Amino acid sequence: MIGVAVVGYGYWGPNLVRNFADTPGARLVAVCDLKKERLASVKGRYPSIRITDDFDELLRDPEVAAVAIATPVSTHFRLAMSALMAGKHVFVEKPIASSSEEAQRLVEEAVRRKLVLAVDHTFIHTGAVRKMRELVEDGLGEVYYYDSVRVNLGLFQHDVSVIWDLAVHDLSIMDYVLPVRPVAVSATGMSHVAGEPANIAYLNLFFENNLIAHVHVNWLAPVKVRRTLVGGSRKMIVYDDLEPSEKIKVYDKGITLNGDARQAGERTYQALVGYRTGDMWAPHLDVTEALGSEIREFIGCIERSEIPAADGRAGLRVVRILEAATQSLAQRGRVIELEGVRRVA
């Protein structure tokens, strides 16, 4: 049994506690938070679990083999680094840290100590996103574009922009689904509240081939939209996360090319490009709760010394893009090259 402590019992912490409590192989040892009323709430629901407001106490506890961190982003690095240095495996909310520098140091520390470092990119454990990855691997053909819209009337935050709050989801999904990594990013956006970070933003991701990716995020939209289009040479996907059951639709649509369009005159060209319109298909999706699968994977990785789907490096790649996008947005969309992640032995 892997002993686990959950740190932070605010918005998301209760979900972690509930899922760790239900995961075979895990034993929920303690919950830590600075607020007394939250700890009392834990006690009411889980009378047998230890509660504490002393994080360092957990680190000294030999029963705690892993720490799950669900605190504000600005504290991720300090808490995760302390836990790793105390020899604990770490599961941390996304984004993994406030900067790529911090994320890089967490990755290196985990590697050095041979500890599991997982970042909670929840969406990649949903049936819908797993199905998208399958389709991209086999069925879509060459991927042409990835376009996502994630907008609603949402809670304005004043420490991070809408990019860190919403685009982080799309970037973590793309990191999991796409076969290639972006080499550069640009972003535009605007703040409509004086002195506050951007509440609307558009990100472009550039790749070495002719794949193009784009993300639209907005806290100030009248309707909620969660829709991703993925175009491939053989099939195309619409992923609508607000659909109750048919979240993934696969379209057998596209163009077919015969011969070299460059050499064709107008009349001939028209004949060279064909349009293909076939069936649409909405595969049945696994509806297991994503967070449960993810936590089972985390515990399994500790048991078998494996690497989770969203490890520290995935967390780092996403933070690197968030950082570059933020920098680009401040310069009206200047393209920022994404240097490769430094290798760790």
Residue numbers 218-247 binding a copy of itself by CB under 8 A: 218, 220-224, 229, 231, 233, 236-238, 242, 244-246
What the block records as the tokens of 19 is 């899922």
3-state secondary structure of 124: helix
What end-to-end distance do the CA atoms of the chain give, in Å? 29
The beta strands (E) that lie in 60-158 are given as 66-69, 89-93, 117-120, 143-153
Interface pick for a copy of itself out of 52, 75, 191, 327 (rule CB under 8 A): 191
Instruction: Identify whether the C-beta of residue 181 lies closer than 8 Å to the C-beta of residue 191.
Output: no
Interface pick for a copy of itself out of 158, 267, 304, 343 (rule CB under 8 A): 158
Find the part of the chain contacting a copy of itself (CB under 8 A) among 11-19, 56-64, 95-103, 249-257: 249-257
**Residue 240 CB burial class (10 angstroms; 0-12, 13-18, ≥19):** middle
Write out the binding residues for a copy of itself, residues 85-144 only, by CB under 8 A: 144
Token pair 């836990």 is found at 83
User: Closest by alpha carbon to 182, among 143, 226, 151?
Assistant: 143
CA of 234: how far to CAs of 163, 240, 247, 273, 284, in Å? 31, 20, 20, 14, 21
For a copy of itself, which is the closer residue by CB, 108 or 246? 246
Q: How far apart are CA 289 and CA 99, in angstroms?
A: 30
Residue 340 near a copy of itself by CB under 8 A? no
Find the part of the chain contacting a copy of itself (CB under 8 A) among 21-29, 92-100, 118-126, 280-288: 280-288
Write out the binding residues for a copy of itself, residues 281-300 only, by CB under 8 A: 281-284
Closest approach of a copy of itself to the CB of residue 223, in Å: 6
Residue 202 near a copy of itself by CB under 8 A? yes
User: Closest by alpha carbon to 117, among 321, 291, 292, 314?
Assistant: 314
Residue 255 near a copy of itself by CB under 8 A? yes
Interface pick for a copy of itself out of 37, 62, 210, 305 (rule CB under 8 A): 210
For a copy of itself, which is the closer residue by CB, 133 or 227? 227
Calculate the CA dihedral of residues 275, 278, 284, 285 and round it to 10 degrees.
0
Find the part of the chain contacting a copy of itself (CB under 8 A) among 22-30, 113-121, 152-160, 300-308: 152-160
Residue 12 near a copy of itself by CB under 8 A? no
Interface pick for a copy of itself out of 62, 114, 267, 275 (rule CB under 8 A): 275
For a copy of itself, which is the closer residue by CB, 12 or 156? 156
